[in-house]
């Protein structure tokens, strides 16, 4: 068996082939960390691998709460999706806390 039939991104325990002495060898990109890749993994998967690429972060949104504690969010888009076991995409969304200070906050009772 070998990886000629499949190459999977990230960690995928279902992405394997029969190896030597009835042991499984893997065809997911995580196998490089664990050292249990099939013998043909690099030729079958890594040569054609394309890692994920993302664009720049967009602007932060306004605070979700006009008065008091809330959150802001921003996002970015995938420009090149991963293929053939390439590096997976990083986080596409971020969140952070904020404090809403709308001028009417102090007058509302």
* CATH number for position 67: 2.20.100.10
- Residue 44 placed within a domain: yes
Residues 72 and 31 in one domain: no
pLDDT reading at 108 higher than 60: no
Handedness of CA 32, 14, 7, 11 (dihedral sign): negative
Give the Cα separation of 26 and 37 in Å (integer): 5
In the chain, the number of structural domains is 2
Residues 4 and 26 in one domain: yes
pTM of the model: 0.52
Residue 109: predicted pLDDT: 45
Q: What is the pLDDT of residues 55-86, one digit of tens each?
A: 999 999 999 999 989 999 999 999 988 876 67
Per-residue burial over 17-45, b if 16 or more Cβ lie within 10 Å, else e, is: bebeeeeebbbbbbbeeeebbbeebeebb
Using 50, 70 and 90 to split pLDDT, how confident is the model at 1?
low
Tokens of 88: 């997976």
Residues 65 and 36 in one domain: no
Place of tokens 């996002």: 75
Residue 48: predicted pLDDT: 63
Question: Residue 68 sits in which domain range?
Answer: 55-80+89-101
Residues 44 and 69 in one domain: no
- Residue 107 placed within a domain: no
- Residue 106 placed within a domain: no
- Residue 12 placed within a domain: yes
- If one compares 104 and 14, the residue with the highest pLDDT of the two is 14
CA dihedral 95, 96, 101, 106 (to 10 degrees): 100
Q: What is the pLDDT of residues 15-62, one digit of tens each?
A: 998 887 778 899 988 898 899 998 888 888 866 667 889 999 999 999
- Residue 23 placed within a domain: yes
Q: Are the C-beta atoms of 31 and 37 separated by less than 8 Å? A: yes
């Amino acid at each position: 068996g070998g990886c000629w039939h499949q190459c999977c991104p990230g960690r995928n325990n279902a992405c394997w082939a029969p190896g030597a002495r009835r042991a499984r060898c893997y065809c997911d990109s995580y196998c490089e960390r664990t050292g249990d890749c099939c013998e043909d993994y690099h030729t079958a998967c890594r040569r054609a691998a394309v890692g994920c690429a993302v664009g720049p972060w967009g602007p932060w949104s306004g605070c979700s709460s006009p008065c008091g504690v809330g959150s802001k969010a921003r996002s970015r888009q995938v420009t090149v999706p991963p293929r053939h076991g390439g590096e997976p995409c990083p986080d596409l969304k971020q969140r952070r806390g904020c404090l809403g200070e709308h001028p009417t906050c102090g007058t509302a009772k």
